[in-house]
Amino acid sequence: MVKFHWLHSKAEHGPLYQLWSVFRQQHAAVLGLILFCFFALTALLGPLITPYDPYLQNPDALLVPPSWDEQGQVRFLLGTDDLGRDVLSRLIKGASYTFGIAIITVLGAMILGLLLGVLAGMSKGFRASAFNHMLDLALTIPSLLLAIIIVAILGPGLINTIWAIMLALLPQFVHGIRNAIQQQLEQDYVIAYRLDGANQLQILRNVVLPNIWEQLTILFSMALSTAILDIAALGFLGLGAQSPAAEWGVMVADALDLIYLAPWSIALPGLLIFVAVLSVNLVSDGLRAAIRKRQES
């Protein structure tokens, strides 16, 4: 049982505190974490903090530039689109779609991947061989292409997009968790625990799972950036969220015809997609470096 002694020396701190001590020394990773928390809070509180209804049309305020432009208006901080909808409100609402749904999707894929990964990692013989061949086949297909194929079968829409991306990310989790479990099963302390009379369930519960949480964290962070891009890409292609939904990919697609007339309407959601993916990648790289340094120390 892991205990945390917050008032003792660093060597006596628990693994989470040690991991944070190494992580916070990386300025880029901390910046990524701040941005990640900002997007997560925006996705959670978005409906409560939008200055206007994201779908409210203002016929008297069509294509108003951002407020810093000479023709801009203070009441529309980031301007309006071709239907007079407030861009800032739609971007905030879009965080719930693109970023929030990505987190939910990756959590679902991780839970399913953990169940199947445990089954694959603890199996031997024909069953393990069948899992390996199926995973190798699934991993050869890019996640976006696999998601497009699944959406083509299920039909376009936000709910089908969630299922499609969840199933597309599943092979990555199963493969990563299976490898992590098999590495743990080869450790000397697992062999000693088995010789002490422990069964497979006890080994899994008491030894294997507590020692793979770091790999799960890295898998989650890596899959999250992929999910954000896939959700935005499917929305852009018209296979995911449908217009007039305030999803960032849909907003980019809707504004393509206005790229010269109102460039802010396409640049702002595109910039948010880039920054969201960048924040997740910074956190992911920071976690990998922190875990590696903690294991080496």
Write down the pLDDT at residue 127.
Answer: 65
Euclidean distance between CA atoms 276 and 40, whole angstroms: 10
**pLDDT at 90 (0 to 100):** 95
Amino acid at 66: P
- Residue entry with tokens 């968790």: 177
pLDDT at residue number 125: 65
d(CA 256, CA 250): 10
> How far apart are alpha carbons 94 and 24 in whole angstroms?
30
Per-residue confidence in pLDDT tens, the chain, 297 aa = 344 343 444 445 667 778 888 888 999 999 999 999 999 999 999 888 999 999 999 988 899 999 888 888 889 999 999 899 999 999 999 999 999 999 999 999 999 999 988 888 777 766 667 767 677 777 778 888 889 999 989 888 889 999 999 999 998 898 888 888 888 888 888 888 888 877 888 888 888 888 888 889 889 999 999 999 999 999 999 998 888 899 999 999 999 988 888 899 999 999 999 999 999 999 999 998 888 887 776
**For the whole model, what pTM was predicted?**
0.88
> HSE on the CB side for 15, CA within 13 Å?
14
Confidence at residue 8, expressed as pLDDT on a 0 to 100 scale: 44
Q: Which residues contact 149 (CB under 8 A, 6 or more apart)?
A: 141
Burial 230-249 (b: 16+ CB within 10 A, else e): bbbbbbbeebbbeebbbbbb
Q: Would you list the domain boundaries of the chain?
A: 15-296
Rg value, the chain, Cα:
23
Please state which CATH number belongs to domain 15-296: 1.10.3720.10
pLDDT value of residue 175? 86
